[in-house]
Structure 1
Amino acid sequence: MSPNEAAGKVVSLDALGDLVRDGDSVAFGGGWFANHPMAAVRELIRAGRRDIHAITVVGSVDMDLMAAAGTLGHLSFSMVTMEAFGLALNVRRAIESGALPFTEYTGLGLLIGLEAQGRGVPYLPYRGPFGSDIPARYPEIYATTTCPFTGEELTAVRAIQPDVAIVHALRADAEGNAQWDGTSGPDIEMAKAARRTIVTCEEIVDRRVIAANAHMTKLPGFYTDAVIEAPFGAHPTSHVPTYAMDAWELMDYATAAAGQSFEAYVEQIRGESEAEYRTRVLKDRDAVLRALVDAAEVLEAQA
């Protein structure tokens, strides 16, 4: 096997700025404080990307950080939240000031739109969203349709095709076969809907490891355009079963975002590599974050 064949679709994290262009629509995986492709988010900021149309089902610190860095040109979302740490202040400021145009979906509507594209159909119907004013606000996305079999009135959601999807997996091989241990959130729908899919992962492994755990392969390699090894690539959000969310870093983030200026926080990320970020932020906390996952599994088993 030649070196090129062995490398397959593997690229370095610092190549991400060449794979995602200014103005691209980009679906970011993960949800709540779990499994967001944060290493990729930080690299897009370092690369100086602008006017990104971000698509997120339940965004978090990923959307808030990009809003602060000036990376976003549009936001399509159902929710962006810092959960127990308060409001996503940078997103809120940008939307309220009019600096960040947005499209609001219902959570299920956004997932169904992505699934429609992944299935190769122009739309998919569903029941709902009853009582919501969102469909009337976005007639270019939502429409009323009638079931040809029962006559039931349903809501149709137009297919959504992002230019790029970026998702974070447990592991992948050089061919792009990606595995998750547990929930993958909206990641698979995003990856199948996008024109190009980039998988960041905790580790790149030999294809024999993938084959030995074939039941964990949720994204076959033919959907994947590039694979990037990014240890702790979801930090400070969690990537179970590898590590828990980093509540200490999230508290620091929320404190900085609530201050007079968030520029220093962003500039520090711009000026360091991802390896330097891990060294600075994790210190010896990586072992603690791993232990928290182990402890949660023990408590769950005893419940």
Structure 2
Amino acid sequence: MSPSEMPDKVVPLEALGDLVHDGDSVAFGGGWFANHPMAAVRELIRAGRRDIRAITVVGSADMDLLAAAGVLGHLSFSMVTMEAFGLAPNVRRAIESGSLPFTEYTGLGLLIGLEAQGRGVPYLPYRGPFGSDIPARYPDVYATVTCPFTGEELTAVRAVQPDVAIVHALRADAEGNAQWDGTSGPDVEMAKAARRTIVTCEEIVDRDVIVANAHMTKLPGFYTDAVIEAPFGAHPTSHIPRYAMDAWELMDYATAAAGPAFSAYVDQIRAESETEYRTRVLKDRDAVLRALVDAAEVIEGAGA
């Protein structure tokens, strides 16, 4: 296939509402305060999506913001945390009130379920989770199986197939070949398991750039259905090596989320474009967030 015949999967961020439908199960990449597809999260809120059945391994501000905006209809997760900034208040309130149905996995169990679907098998077994009451609580997810070779009892996890996976990469080309420089967390497993995969990325580059750095391609283009360029698309979480997490914005978020007027925070996101969001929130902090990554590399190198 000549370069002119290669598929062009590039769409604008504003098209996300047409690609993700109300009621879809959506796996969101990233983990802890790293690599979450936050630009996509904000755009789903702007698009007015509802009843999204979210899947996250270790969610943070992404899940909390979606819960606050009334986007979530169900949450499958192993953990949602604001880490040093406390609990995820909107998720906690929704679960405690009974307004947000949920399925709780162990972290490894959810990853294994995604991997099973990516391998095209109905389940995969593993040892564990010993001492947990989660398998008994979810018999439609976990089962005990016997190894046909050793007779050992193992825990089987049912395959997890999201309708959509949304992951944030460092760069991608128009064909959807996506690259990460550093951790990709659960993103690749999610993308391979999903019926449709949307890659947001810091920049869209020519195919030659991808080929020149082929070792960084963790998601081949044939898994990708759409590519969206979204600079600072993981903000306020980090995307190494481009920028560190924005602790200032996360502190502001945690303070607002715990208060009675958080609806104003959500309304502001609904009313602005992603470009306007970056202008308003980043100000001159983008250079600081980049410098923090550089400083961490210097410190790490000095200690080696």
TM-score range, shorter chain: over 0.9
Which residue of 1 is the match for residue 21 of structure 2?
21
Superposition deviation, residue 258 in structure 1: 1.1
| 2:273 equivalent in structure 1 | 273
Q: Does residue 182 of the first structure (1) align with residue 158 of the second (2)? A: no
Distance 1:24 1:95, change over 3 A: same
Alignment deviations for residues 249-279 of structure 1 (CA, whole Å, 9 cap, x no partner): 0000000011112100000000000000000
Alpha-carbon distance, 1:4 to partner: 8.8
Distance 1:5 1:231, change over 3 A: farther
Structure 1 residues 2 and 144: alpha-carbon distance in aligned structure 2, compared to 1, 3 A threshold: closer
Matched with 1:68 is 68
- Give secondary structure in 2 for the equivalent of 1:54: strand
Q: Deviations over 1:217-266 (max 9, x none)?
A: 00000000000000000000000000000000000000001111210000
Partner SS, residue 287 of structure 2: helix
Structure 1: distance between partners of 2:275 and 2:45: 15
The offset of 1:112, in angstroms, is 0.1
Alignment deviations for residues 65-106 of structure 1 (CA, whole Å, 9 cap, x no partner): 000000000000000000000010000000001110000000
1:37 — aligned with what? 37
Q: What is the CA distance between 1:302 and its match in structure 2? A: 3.1
Give the deviation of 1:10 after TM superposition.
Answer: 0.1
Cα deviation code 1:142-181 (max 9, x no counterpart): 0000111111110000000000000000000000000000
For the residues of structure 1 that align with 2:84 and 2:182, how far apart are their CA atoms? 23
The farther-off stretch of 275-284 and 145-154 is 145-154
The alignment partner of 1:53 has SS state of: strand
What displacement does 1:3 show? 12
Cα shift readout 1:195-234 (whole Å, capped 9, x = no counterpart): 0000000000000000000000000000000000000000
Using the TM superposition, give the Cα deviation of residue 7 of structure 1 relative to its aligned residue in structure 2, in angstroms: 7.2
State percent identity of aligned pairs: 90
Listed as ranges, the matches of 1:84-99 within 5 Å are 84-99=84-99
**What's the RMSD between the two structures over aligned residues?**
1.4
The DSSP-based 3-state class of the residue aligned with 1:181 is coil
| Structure 1 residues 103-114: aligned runs within 5 Å | 103-114=103-114
- Does residue 169 (structure 1) correspond to residue 138 (structure 2)? The answer is no
Structure 1: any 5+ residue segments left out of the alignment? none
SS of the residue 1:7 aligns to: coil
TM-score, normalised with respect to structure 1: 0.98
Q: Structure 1 stretch 274-283 or stretch 256-265: which is displaced more?
A: 256-265
Q: Following superposition, which runs of at least 4 residues in structure 1 exceed 4 angstroms of deviation?
A: 1-7
Whole-Å Cα distance in 2 between the matches of residues 274 and 135 of structure 1?
Answer: 41
Query: Displacement, 1:6?
Result: 7.2
Q: 1:282 to 1:57 in 2, by over 3 A?
A: same
- The TM-score normalised by the length of structure 2 is 0.98
Please list the CA deviations of residues 131-152 of structure 1 after superposition, one character each: whole Å capped at 9, or x if unmatched: 0000000000000001111111
Distance in 1 between residues matched to 2:140 and 2:175, nearest whole Å = 37
Q: Quote the Cα distance in structure 1 between the aligned partners of 2:5 and 2:236.
A: 34
SS of the aligned residue for 2:32 comes to coil
Instruction: Quickly say closer, same or farther: Cα 1:264–1:7, change in 2 above 3 A.
Output: farther
Q: How does 1:182-261 map to 2 (within 5 A)?
A: 182-261=182-261
Shift of 1:5: 5.5
- How many residue pairs are counted as aligned between the two chains? 303
